[in-house]
Structures are given as structure tokens and as C-alpha cells.
Amino acid sequence: MFKPPLKWAGGKRWLVSQLKPLWEENTTHRYVEPFCGGLGVTLGLQPRRALLNDVNPHLINFYRHVQNGLQMSLPMRNEEDLFYRHRERFNQLIRQGEAHTEEGAQLFYYLNRTCFNGLCRFNKGGDFNVPFGTYKAINYATDFSQYAAVFRQWTFSNRDVEALQFEPGDFIYADPPYDVEFTTYSAGGFSWDDQVRTAKLLADHRGTVVISNQATKRIIELYQNLGFELTFLDGPRRISCTGDRTAAREVLAIKV
């Protein structure tokens, strides 16, 4: 199983064993992730055909450059001064509308590996604003060719979930930004209305759907009212400003 190339807060690699039996009944269908994030699940399940979407354009830009055999030429060191220089350059590219370039992809990778806890957060102006991390040592990749052959089998897109074209029979695994958690993952955030419209859209899909979320009262009620079968799990603690790493109660909403 390939290790995800990025650090990703709230990654779902730990869910692969739960999802694998459902996926193995659907391997002839296309695999779809509307919120693909760090690709922990996709790389664990290894679908042949996949549509992998995320609203974060910088994430998708990185994956598309990896598809094309990204080779890192950017100076990469775990140094605070270099980090803030690279962060300012990345934000300059964003302001100039040039963050979709290969330079933007390289900067995004470096910032992701070097910043605090692998967070991906933007301010209202669209600037990446995560501070320097606290790692003693970082192993930076310079060659992504091992991923390129796998990624070329997959389609990456940067759209809102309602703009995606689902095919009947698609196996959909959705991991939207969690309810009552850090939600400034992309400029604009992810509101309760976004949770509702996503759940309703997926409930109408003709095919297997699995949604993971934090098991808040209103999330449980939403998924139950839409006819999903619910399973509860204790997942790894998401990023917490208090340092609390106790297990968070999670819900898997399943419709087959």
C-alpha cells in the first residue's frame, strides 16, 4: 500500500479495513471521492478507475503535477526562515493567479510537509496562513515517479460536489469536512448547509455510498432521516488546540 505523499489532518487511512469489504463488492464500478484530501483511502483501496475531487485547488494541482512525473527542484529544508520565504512566494502566486503552475505544486508540497501538523488553512483573502511546524526532522521526497503510474489511472477534479457527474453504480466514499470542527480548509469554509446538501445529493445516488463524519447529534439525525445505515467507530483524534488526542466518536453512514 502506497503511503500518501502529503501529511493530512484528519486523514482516513485507518478506515481502509472498514471500507475494503464494501469496495470489494464494487470493484467493477468506478470509485469516486468527492472530498479526496490526502488520498489515504484511495491509495489503500487501489481502484483501477477513479474520480478524485476536492474543492482545494492547490491540492488538486499538486496531484495533477504528480500525474505528470513531478520532480522537486525547490530548496527544501526544515528551517523557519526558508519556510516563511516559501510561504510568501506561494501566496504571491495565489494573488497573481499562478498557483496552478509546477512551482505552485512544489511550494504546496514543501509547505504541507513543513508546516504545523500538516494543516491546510487559508485566510479570507485566500492566503495560506499555517505557521512553521515543530518537527525535529523531515524526509522530503524529490521524485514522485512511483506515484505517477498509479495516478495516471485516475481523474482529478476541482469542483463543488454538486457539479460532479456521477455514473449509476459509482462507489462513492465521501469524507466531508467534519461538523463542529476546523472548517477553513479552503477559502469559504464548509457550512451546515453544505453538510445537508451533500448528504441529500449522495442519498439520491444509484449505487453504494459511504459517508464518514464526526458523530454529532445533528449529523446522526441528518443521515438517519435520509435512510442511511449508521455504524459508530472511535477514530484517531483530529487536530486539537488543547493537545487532546483522545478518540473522537465517528459515524459511517452507508447506503447500498
Q: What is the pLDDT of residues 51-63, one digit of tens each?
A: 999 999 999 999 9
- In which band, very low, low, confident or very high, does the pLDDT at 2 lie, cut at 50, 70 and 90? confident
d(CA 227, CA 184): 29
Going from the C-alpha of 159 to that of each of 94, 164, 195, the distances in angstroms are: 18, 7, 16
Give the model's pLDDT for residue 188.
54
CATH 3.40.50.150 location in the chain: 13-56+150-255
Give the model's pLDDT for residue 124.
87
Give the model's pLDDT for residue 183.
45
Assess whether pLDDT exceeds 80 at residue 238.
Answer: no
d(CA 136, CA 68): 31
CATH 1.10.1020.10 location in the chain: 72-142
For residue 7, the number of C-alpha atoms closer than 13 Å in the C-beta half-sphere is 20
Assess whether pLDDT exceeds 70 at residue 112.
Answer: yes
Domain 72-142: CATH architecture, name and number where available = Orthogonal Bundle (1.10)
Q: Percent of the chain beyond pLDDT 70?
A: 91
- The CATH T-level fold of domain 13-56+150-255 is Rossmann fold (3.40.50)
Q: What is the mean pLDDT of residues 150-157?
A: 96
Give the model's pLDDT for residue 178.
87
- In which band, very low, low, confident or very high, does the pLDDT at 184 lie, cut at 50, 70 and 90? very low
Q: What is the mean pLDDT of the chain?
A: 92
